[in-house]
Chain A
Amino acid sequence: MVNYELSFWLALPAAAIVSGFFGFLLGTPVMRLKGDYLGIVTLGFGEIVRLIFVNWIDLTNGPMGIPAIPSPSVGGYTLTSNSDFYYLVLVITVVSVFIIRRIVQSGFGLNLLTVREDEIAAESIGIRPTRYKLLAFTIGALFAGVAGALFAVTAMFVSPDSFQYVESVNILAMVVLGGTGSIAGSVLGATILTVAPEILRFISDYRMILLGLVIVLMMVYKPSGFWGESKRKRNFFGKTGGYQDGNLTAGGSYGQVRGTGRG
């Protein structure tokens, strides 16, 4: 955007695609790893990227960062105030949540669940585990790219310092706190971890310790988070198929199809 005067509305999908592509590239060899090791590699990759940004001065201006990123404009109106950006981020978040929800509440989403729980069972019913792990990785990176683009235009300045290891940990903490495997949980976790440090400003020196304590306590006593997967909508596949109770009674029993979904 700075160098080529590209519109934000082109830069946004470009960021998503580039990130998704790198997610795919990184995912291809990394899919052989499991659990903790996978996590270590992704954190390591984050550090590598940061170091490249610091040293590839031609592209990134090194530690000085890229200043004066132009603001996006909507139909001739350039976003300037905080509330302008608030609405920009809000709209894109709502759209993202909508898309992710569609993706999760589908056959594809059920495949992901199955692969996560039991790869051997998944293979025994015709699902290719590596394929779905890689797709999940890529889709995750894609949305991270969208977030990065939003961050750049909101802060109007990016430097490698914006992408330190602590940020990765922070994002992970949001998911853990809110509840893994749940969109509402992630939103909740992100809200808490963004708002809490502001509220706790009066004990500024200790707030990180306090947050650390909260996260450890969560891990021990409520590992599913505040709004975890157990609250997920059940039997969505049929529900999103759009039939009502008793509508599809050709076989007599389909009328009994009803979700116990709670969100």
Chain B
Amino acid sequence: MEILRLEGVTVKFGGLVAVNKVDLHMDQGEILALIGPNGAGKTTLFNLLTGIYSPTSGTVFYKQQPVNKLKPYERVDLGIARTFQNIRLIKNMTVLENVLVAHKGCNSESVWRSMFLTSKTKQQRQNVVADCMEVLKIVGLDSKIDELAGNLPYGEQRLLEIARAMATKCRLLLLDEPAAGMNSQEKKQLVDVIRNLSKTYNVEILIIEHDIRMVMSIADRVVVLEHGEKIAEGIGPEVQNNPKVIKAYLGEDI
């Protein structure tokens, strides 16, 4: 089944064309990597998928349903979640709270229910906490739940953002440079987490990443953007040897 399809999607900011007529599709169970030089429009594409921007023209389909007009929080309900290139955790909330607040059972709790706090509500809260603990275990942060998110080392903050996105029970996970600033040890752990999410939790993953070795090791397919246009697409080695891609990264022969 097709999870995601972009048809001729264009995003313009005034005269600047950030994304230009991009077609893209993602199948069930796929890990798709989005690469390209700086300023190629990768993050713009992410913001488009999550509803921060809407396309100037073209259509985004999620599970065959157009989602162009949906707000970010409505897309979350459909199962699209993301992490950010510049980490956006709530620094003065604990690790557990950061994950809890993404869980429907926690963030849709009404004022009335919290005021009266019946034993049923308490039971529901326990279940939500148990759920979130499980997500934290996937990324290996289940022993640090009392720490403030802002006090975690950089790599763990990135993992926590992934856990937070997972707590929304998403189907499609968008990771914006999850390995940025990580050392090789942390990268190895991240790769394991991503593989695990894809295999065990049946999440489709779209990942922006600059570390080519990492991209080649986890991605089923790679899409290359340059100046907002898709210049190549395919499995790893195919793309690596594509002359257009080499040109985009290294420039032309003299």
Chain A contact residues, CB within 8 Å of chain B: 99, 102-103, 105-111, 113-114, 117-118, 120-121, 123-128, 135, 139, 229-230, 234-235, 237-238, 240-243, 248, 250-251, 253-254, 256-260
Contact = CB atoms under 8 A, between A and B. Distances in A.
Nearest to A139: B111
Interface in B114-146: 114-117, 119, 122-123, 125-126, 128-130, 133-134, 137, 142-143, 145-146
A116 B253 CA distance: 52
A135 B111 contact: yes
A240 B117 contact: yes
Counting chain B CB atoms within 10 Å of each CB, the highest count among A113, A124, A254 belongs to: A124
Contacts of B114: 102-103, 105-109
Main secondary structure of the interface of A (DSSP, over half): helix
Interface in B80-110: 81-82, 84, 88-94, 96-97, 100-102, 104-110
9 contacts: A102-B117, A109-B114, A113-B90, A121-B84, A124-B50, A238-B96, A241-B122, A242-B122, A253-B143
Chain B, interface residues (CB within 8 Å), range? 35 or more
B125 A260 contact: no
Interface of B: 50-52, 71-73, 76-77, 81-82, 84, 88-94, 96-97, 100-102, 104-111, 113-117, 119, 122-123, 125-126, 128-130, 133-134, 137, 142-143, 145-146, 148, 164-165, 167-168
A254 B130 contact: yes
Contacts of B100: 107, 110, 237
B98 to A, nearest CB: 9
A146 to B, nearest CB: 15
A124 B145 contact: no
B137 A251 contact: yes
